[in-house]
A and B are shown apart, each in its own frame.
Chain A
Amino acid sequence: DIQMTQSPSSLSASVGDRVTITCRASQSVSKYLNWYQQKSGQAPELLIYAASSLQSGVPSRFSGSGFGTGFTLTISSLRPEDFATYYCQQNSIPPYTFGQGTKVEIK
């Protein structure tokens, strides 16, 4: 199975900060990398697909980049509603494994 490793596991940030989360795959997943946001008690929501494509309706302050084994999710200016847990997932080779999550907390 492909292992997905996110860093950091958690971070504290302030409203307005630029936040970057990294996801590394144990082998190449090409561009097949998605990012999800999950708020407490809710189902995850798709933010980014195919590494860098913004899902319809998602604010443009979210962006994704990367290819192969290294990927990043960037929030350009953190808003109060962005405090949540973020997961990457590869959908290149089954099983479509997730990272362990990154919890973004209020500083």
Chain B
Amino acid sequence: GQNIDQPTEMTATEGAIVQINCTYQTSGFNGLFWYQQHAGEAPTFLSYNVLDGLEEKGRFSSFLSRSKGYSYLLLKELQMKDSASYLCAVRDSNYQLIWGAGTKLIIKP
């Protein structure tokens, strides 16, 4: 079966750095996505990785290792507004997204 694993919840301090991990087992691989979802709102796109390595976009970076079935999202200089759920999703061989359950990130002052 297809499976996306990520931690249920993480806590970090304002101004710090946090890494959210995602491991996957899917039928085929056509890219990995990270989305942010604030409580009661829709998911919004953060990053996309299809090749191994690090993609940097401002305070957010995303890393992919296809051989290990592993990705992480790195958030730097954490702000209170970063409190949200972070969703990992993999596009499979049918070009459909398979979603993890999300990681709820709590930022403390």
Q: Do A and B bind each other?
A: no
Chain B residues in the interface with A (C-beta under 8 A): none
Chain A residues in the interface with B (C-beta under 8 A): none
